[in-house]
Amino acid sequence: MLFRTLMAALLGAAISFSASADDAPRIAIIIDDLGDRLPEGRRVIRLPGALTFALLPHTPHSRSLARLAHSLGKEVMLHLPMDSMNRDPLGPGGLTLDMTHQTFRRTLLDGLKSVPHVRGVNNHMGSLLTRHPGHMGWLMAELAATGDLYFVDSRTDRRSVAVPIAEEYGLSVTHRDVFLDNVRDHDAIARQFRKAIAIAGKTGAAIAIGHPYPETIEALQKLLPQLEAEGIRLVPVSELIHRRNERSIEQWQASLYRSQRAAKNSKP
């Protein structure tokens, strides 16, 4: 009896919440690889709208660009270098497979301290490291202990275990849906932008990742106004993660309601 009462209250709250929620699809756009070049960083940070900016640790301009983004109300992330399958050079602050736990932890915490106003973390490269549950466990345990941070899996490898490991540690987590500028051409970027819009329209939310390339900045100047015209909200990553969590709860509640109705209708 108590279970039924609790379920009824939960479903009632869900129906009330859903009716009042803003159902507009959301898109978050992360601009990666900031910190080495000041002019491009300043230019992309001054683009209109709630873009999110991921800064590499220990780079010459990471602090000043993070402060600029924060002063303009933009969200800041740490773009954390991780071992790749090709073993490409990571630059300062990179996490590698051969690190001891102590070195891994110290490198991560130093990286977080090197960029002010960080709200979350995503991986720079990482096609090797994100496949290893043990190292992802080290990472997510530290992020969970550090405070209210989220993690975005850039999905540089389809075999990544970052998302399920983050969930085990109770972190807010999501993943990239689209890379905007693997091809540095305006038409190609526009196609990827439309792909992100289509995903958001279908699922309610999408994350796109781009870079401070001149072609990307010019394309976004023209493409960003399309979002409002199509009824899609550009939001920081933290808000998009919250939205995805809301929709997951709504879907679970709807499934539970259908199951209860089916069970009730099947009674003799």
The reply to whether 3 falls in a domain is: no
Out of 93-97, 134-138, 145-149, pick the least confident.
145-149
Say whether pLDDT at 8 is over 80. no
**Residue 236 is part of which domain span?**
24-261
| The pLDDT of residue 178 | 99
The reply to whether 19 falls in a domain is: no
Cα(135)–Cα(174) distance, rounded to whole angstroms?
Answer: 18
User: What are the distances in angstroms from CA 249 to CA 5, 28, 64, 124, 200?
Assistant: 19, 20, 39, 30, 17
Cα–Cα–Cα angle for 178, 236, 246, rounded to 5 degrees: 85
Tell me if 149 sits within 8 A of 121, measured CB to CB: yes
Q: Which two tokens stand for residue 206?
A: 């999408």
* 192-221 pLDDT tens trace: 999 999 999 999 999 999 999 999 999 999
CATH number at residue 130: 3.20.20.370
The reply to whether 14 falls in a domain is: no
The reply to whether 5 falls in a domain is: no
Q: Got the DSSP string for 132-155?
A: -HHHHHHHHHHHHHHSS-EEEE--
Q: Which two tokens stand for residue 200?
A: 């958001």
The reply to whether 175 falls in a domain is: yes
Q: What is the mean pLDDT of the chain?
A: 89
Beta bridge partners of 54: 77
User: What's the domain count of the chain?
Assistant: 1
The reply to whether 56 falls in a domain is: yes
Say whether pLDDT at 242 is over 80. yes
| The pLDDT of residue 147 | 82
Split at pLDDT 50, 70, 90, the class of 52 is: very high
pTM of the model: 0.85
* % of the chain beyond a pLDDT of 90: 80
Out of 17-26, 58-67, 82-91, 149-158, pick the least confident.
17-26
Cα(209)–Cα(221) distance, rounded to whole angstroms?
Answer: 15
The reply to whether 8 falls in a domain is: no
Tell me if 69 sits within 8 A of 117, measured CB to CB: yes
The reply to whether 170 falls in a domain is: yes
